[in-house]
Amino acid sequence: MDGDRAVPVGSHGRRFKRPLLLLLVGLPIVLVGSCALIAVIAVSMAPPFEEARDLSSSDLPSLEQKKEVLERYVSFQRSYEELEFEIHSGSRGGLLPSPDPTPLDVRLRAVVPRSEQRRWLRGMPDPRRRPGGGEAHWAEDLGVDLKALRNFRWSIESKPQARFKRIVGIDAQNSVVLYRLCTPCELSEWNDAP
């Protein structure tokens, strides 16, 4: 028994119990920590919560300020002689990013230089004459008499899959432009009438 050592009973079992105990205790701690880290990353990457806003050009004293505010919500820049608008930007945000864009409804009435009338119709279908009234109640909020809509030629761009609609009406004689952009739009809100 010179080279043999006496091994206490149960000592081999202790060698396996410690790693198993560490695994059983450590694994849940690692999983909880990983989930917490993922949640922190998801929250930090989510878009900030956006509150609903209603903006009106009547709250702004100058044409330049009106133009500056409008250009935050539309992808175009134009020249104006007069400008009135109403913008409703809906709320969106939270913990997870949404595939839908932030709801936006832009309505404007502008007197523009005659040389700029065609710019409003770039990328739009050919304008056609439409009777006034119907779905054009939004123009009344901007001080437009519905009877005057008979003088307008309308171009309507609609992408139902994207719930997107853009309407441009131009009274060429008076150089007045009516514009509405809605995204996302409920399809029940829209007919082909302006």
pLDDT-wise least confident of 55-59, 120-124, 128-132: 128-132
Is residue 164 scored above 80 in pLDDT? no
Sort residue 94 into left (φ over 0), alpha (ψ -120 to 50) or beta. Answer: left
Q: Is the dihedral of CA 139, 136, 177, 172 positive or negative?
A: negative
- In terms of Cβ atoms closer than 10 Å to its own Cβ (0-12, 13-18, 19+), residue 190 is middle
Q: What is the pLDDT of residues 134-155, one digit of tens each?
A: 556 778 888 888 788 888 888 8
Nearest to 77 by CA among 87, 89, 85, 67: 67
- Find the radius of gyration of the CA atoms of the chain: 31
Mean pLDDT of the chain: 74
Amino acid identity of residue 163, one-letter, is: R
Is residue 6 scored above 80 in pLDDT? no
How high is the pLDDT of residue 155? Answer: 83
**Percent share of the chain, pLDDT over 90:** 21
C-alpha 120 chain-centroid distance: 22
How high is the pLDDT of residue 32? Answer: 74
Sort residue 108 into left (φ over 0), alpha (ψ -120 to 50) or beta. Answer: beta
Cα–Cα distances in angstroms (integers) from residue 67 to residues 2, 9, 14, 174, in the given order: 99, 88, 78, 20
Average pLDDT over residues 109-132: 81
Residue 193 pLDDT level (bands cut at 50, 70, 90): very low
Instruction: Decide: helix, strand or coil at residue 34.
Output: helix
Look at 8 and 88; give whichever has higher pLDDT.
Answer: 88
How high is the pLDDT of residue 25? Answer: 73
Look at 124 and 171; give whichever has higher pLDDT.
Answer: 171
Question: Residue 121: which residues within 8 A CB-CB, separation 6 or more?
Answer: 127, 155, 168, 170
Q: What is the pLDDT of residues 60-104, one digit of tens each?
A: 999 999 999 999 888 888 999 999 999 988 765 554 555 555 788
Global pTM reads: 0.64
Q: Is the dihedral of CA 124, 129, 135, 141 positive or negative?
A: positive
Rounded CA-CA distance 29/35 in Å is: 10
How high is the pLDDT of residue 53? Answer: 73
Question: How many helices (DSSP H) and strands (DSSP E) are in the chain?
Answer: 3, 7
Q: What is the pLDDT of residues 38-55, one digit of tens each?
A: 766 655 554 444 555 788
Cα–Cα distances in angstroms (integers) from residue 71 to residues 64, 79, 165, in the given order: 11, 11, 18
How high is the pLDDT of residue 146? Answer: 78
